[in-house]
Structure 1
Amino acid sequence: PAAATAPAASSSLDKPFIQIGIFSIEQNANNTATAMRQAGMVPTVLEQSSSGKAFWRVLVGPAQTRAERSTLLAKIKDTGFTDAYAVTN
């Protein structure tokens, strides 16, 4: 399957996306994305690789404002992903 591409950053924020996690097992990334959907968010799962090893990133965004980003981050942390943080893409 083709790897997903990062969603376009249609935001003026320097870090409009929230990275929820990086997973070495695709199903774990998909399970996390499902949990985000059930919490009312729209996640993106990106397949990437480093040193020949595949990994999957789960992102939510882009947020349009700092307030929206803060609200998203708080909501994500409330679902148990306490190490989530803002990223460029």
Structure 2
Amino acid sequence: MSFTDMTFSFEAVRWLVVSVIGIYAWFIGRQSASAAELLELRTRLTTLEAQMAQVPSQAQLHELVATVAGLAARIEPVARSVDRIENYLLNQK
């Protein structure tokens, strides 16, 4: 084995080591990016769950619609009375 063969071997080993380090750094960079994205998604999911906890359910909305319909039925006679009073006052002037 001559000196030029050894130099070639050192160059090949150095190229191999640098390539392995580069691939390892790329892989670790991807993993850390994935971890950051996962943390962001977890944060968004937690925020969404907190907001959805405050949204009324379908049963509550149906109950609210029924209550509003009942109130509208109660207000209708009052509105007619107010209209009659308004007409009376407008005609008396």
Report TM bin, short chain: under 0.3
More strand by percentage: 1
More helix by percentage: 2
Under a length normalisation based on structure 1, what TM-score does the superposition of the two structures give? 0.19
Who wins on radius of gyration, i.e. which is larger? 2
- Greater RCO, 1 or 2 (C-alpha within 8 Å, sep 6+): 1
